[in-house]
Structure 1
Amino acid sequence: MIFRKGELFCGPGGLSLGASMASVEALGEEYKVEHVWANDYDAGACATFRHNICPENPDSVIHQDVRELDIERLSAIDAFAFGFPCNDYSIVGETKGLDGNFGPLYSYGIKVLKSHQPKWFMAENVGGLQSANDGNAFVQILQEMESSGYTITPHLYKFEEYGVPQSRHRIIIVGIRKDLGWKFQVPKAPFKDSSTWKTSRQALEEPPISDDAMNHDFTQHQGKVVEMLKYIPPGENAWYDGIPEHLRLNVKGARLSNIYKRLNPDVPSYTVTGSGGGGTHMYHYGQPRALTNRERARLQTFPDWYEFLGGKESVRKQIGMAVPPLGVKIIVEAILKSFAGIEYAIEPAKWDDELHLMLTSGERLKIPTLI
């Protein structure tokens, strides 16, 4: 059984790559996912997606603002994915939620569900979604997914427990069309024990990255930055007490913990991000420099053959905003096993006990969507 997949906010293709890696077999039949169409407003991300996911069908990737996309005319699909923009839900920033410019964009995913009625969908966002607008944004989004005809299973996935060498916590909502008569179960995290987590050293060194690897350009730092980094031990940041006074940053106000923070080689990395200026590019544990984009891609579990197109900063943004393919593979495999009738180890969804209450409590927020 092949599930034909459409995707909004596709980014550089992390979710699609993970989905394409998932495959199960039952009674001689293979269950897998096939790309049909994708959309994003970022030109670099679209170019990367075309280059790696569907080079034989570049027109299937639509570079366009989702608000101008004719959703009803898109090809029929059996599966749908959307990592709707997280800018307004992230704990880093103003957390405007549904009141922001990006917050209401999830509603275009709802429009796809209502128009195309795929058999299943997968939506992804940051953990901050659960607290945006005092928690009301999360409730509203879940209510709209459910009322579109889906039995939903939201869960906070800790990707380091799914083999990703990075502490990255994301809400993923899987929905199964109600007429199919069953509910998705969260696959048990294979690496619950922290002693089994993949470390940043393993990600960057096993195997070593070749000197001529794609997207492996080094940053030319100012001398003062290099000297400061030499005083910062692995796992520490620009506020480390051992940095000489003349090398310290002259910064007033909040001291963000990821400023010039070096990786700890013995644990998963901290979260790879796509935004932020100097000092937020992630820093190597053994060398006084920022990580290359290829190293950042390794932490996101992209294979070395996956080439990101665009300028260096565009690529950095693409990598940071992507969903780790390895984590997606495990979740999509569980979806495929469900359809194939194959049992797998499960764990309770984070909001199992509260979900019914969230879906039936009160009126939705009176916030207009963009549709």
Structure 2
Amino acid sequence: MRKYRFIDLFAGIGGTRIAFEPCGDCVYSCEIDEDAREVYERNWGEAPTETDIRNINHIEDEIPNHDILLACWPCPSFSRFGKKDGLKDERGMLFYEISDILNIKQPKAFMLENVKNLRFVNDGEAYETVVDELESAGYSVFSEVLNALDFGVPQHRERLIIVGFRDDLAPQEDAFEIPKESANALESEKEQRQALAKLLEDDPNEKYKASDKIITDRYNSIENPSEVPEPSVWHENRAGQIKPRPYSSALRASSSWNYILINGQRHPTVRELLRLQGFPEWFEMDGGNQSRARKLTGNTVPVPAIREVAKAIAIELGTPTTQSREQSLADGAVSD
């Protein structure tokens, strides 16, 4: 049985591709951000096929046939931190580009990702429109909000996952379930802190240290800071309140520079940001520009969560999975 073919829309730096490659081959990708494209090409050996999804004028000819469509379309239109313009916003309207491809190419299945607030923006109207469009394209639709913590990643990151199967391949009696957790779920504070400790670097560069003023402000903002267990991530919310946790809050592409600090003292390193999204160690990103790294990691997906979804889709489609690249590297079967 052959592996499936998938396309990777709004590909970012390739987190979704990492999750799906054990089950399939990427035959087309699209990403508009220049920095993301550079990182994508560095790690995959090929630049995204198209820079802007709006430039695809002839879907039938320009996009190859594929089994699964993947798309993590821009979320600011739906985020509780954004203007909540939903599908009326230019970025929100990019969903209709996805819908057009589904209508014309009719792949077997799709997986879409966005912020969980998509369900509630505009009193749920945007989400209802999305589901109606997907069903009108000929798909049975399933959705679930997943948290990275439930898949072994010490980051509280909730995202809406929407999966669809073409009606002629739809699971009988709606039997398909999107996995809500993995065997590595971090349920207790002890498990969360252990996972956090495992991903932190031993001797980070001094450039990641926060200013003396910020550190002092953080320590003055909570009671008994010396009693806070280590490691911890100190999160500053929009009201300026500081809360130490045994895991990171959701990484964000745009936020105050000091909204998360390791042990209240330093910013996460670039490698730590990648690890907080579950990226494998072989994945490379230039650590010289912290702002760039924060933007790119904040715009990607928690790989372990998406990998479980990929497995579930593959099983439903009767498609075999293969060893992941990071597993192959660990076994010495693949070299850089």
TM-score (norm 1): 0.74
> What SS is found at the alignment partner of 1:194?
coil
CA contact (8 A) 1:130 1:138 kept: yes
Identity %: 29
Aligned partner (choices 107, 111, 116) of residue 105 of structure 2: 116
CA contact (8 A) 1:165 1:197 kept: no
CA contact (8 A) 1:46 1:63 kept: no
Give the CA deviation at 1:106. Answer: 0.9
Deviations 1:67-109 (A, max 9, x none): 1234331222111100111001001122111222211111111
TM-score (norm 2): 0.81
With 61-70 and 143-152 compared, the bigger mean Cα shift is at: 61-70
Aligned partner (choices 243, 258, 272) of residue 279 of structure 1: 258
Aligned partner (choices 229, 250, 255) of residue 239 of structure 2: 255
| 1:108 to 1:312, Cα distance in 2 relative to 1, 3 A | same
Partner residue of 2:323?
none
Whether 1:186 aligns to 2:178 is yes
Partner residue of 1:154?
143
Aligned partner (choices 31, 40, 43) of residue 40 of structure 1: 31
Distance 2:270 2:109 in 1: 33
Q: How does 1:169-208 map to 2 (within 5 A)?
A: 169-182=158-171, 183=174, 184-190=176-182, 194-195=187-188, 198-199=191-192, 201-206=193-198
Distance 1:210 1:197 in 2: 20
CA contact (8 A) 2:30 2:49 kept: yes
Partner residue of 2:40?
49
Partner residue of 2:10?
9
Give the CA deviation at 1:173. Answer: 0.6
CA contact (8 A) 1:153 1:175 kept: yes
Partner residue of 1:65?
52
Partner residue of 2:130?
141
> What SS is found at the alignment partner of 1:218?
helix
Deviations 1:209-256 (A, max 9, x none): 3658xxx783354331232234454565569xxxxxxxxxxxxxx615
Partner residue of 1:333?
311
Distance 2:258 2:40 in 1: 28
Aligned partner (choices 157, 171, 192) of residue 168 of structure 1: 157
What residue identity is the alignment partner of 1:116?
K
Deviations 1:188-221 (A, max 9, x none): 523678228852x434432653658xxx783354
> What SS is found at the alignment partner of 1:62?
coil
Q: Which residues of structure 2 form unaligned runs of 5+?
A: 321-336
Q: How does 1:279-298 map to 2 (within 5 A)?
A: 279-280=258-259, 282-285=260-263, 288-298=265-275
What residue identity is the alignment partner of 1:62?
T
| 1:45 to 1:263, Cα distance in 2 relative to 1, 3 A | farther
Backbone CA RMSD of aligned residues: 2.7
Distance 1:207 1:130 in 2: 32
What residue identity is the alignment partner of 2:12?
G
Distance 2:119 2:104 in 1: 26
| 1:168 to 1:207, Cα distance in 2 relative to 1, 3 A | closer
CA contact (8 A) 1:4 1:79 kept: yes
| 1:217 to 1:116, Cα distance in 2 relative to 1, 3 A | farther
What residue identity is the alignment partner of 1:64?
T
Give the CA deviation at 1:119. Answer: 0.8
> What SS is found at the alignment partner of 1:125?
strand
| 1:284 to 1:262, Cα distance in 2 relative to 1, 3 A | farther
| 1:147 to 1:276, Cα distance in 2 relative to 1, 3 A | same
CA contact (8 A) 1:203 1:298 kept: no
Give the CA deviation at 1:157. Answer: 1.5
| 1:293 to 1:121, Cα distance in 2 relative to 1, 3 A | same
Q: Which residues of structure 1 form unaligned runs of 5+?
A: 22-31, 240-253, 343-371
How many residue pairs align between the two structures? 303
Give the CA deviation at 1:63. Answer: 4.9
Partner residue of 2:289?
311
Distance 1:207 1:121 in 2: 32
CA contact (8 A) 2:139 2:170 kept: no
CA contact (8 A) 1:5 1:37 kept: yes
CA contact (8 A) 1:20 1:34 kept: yes
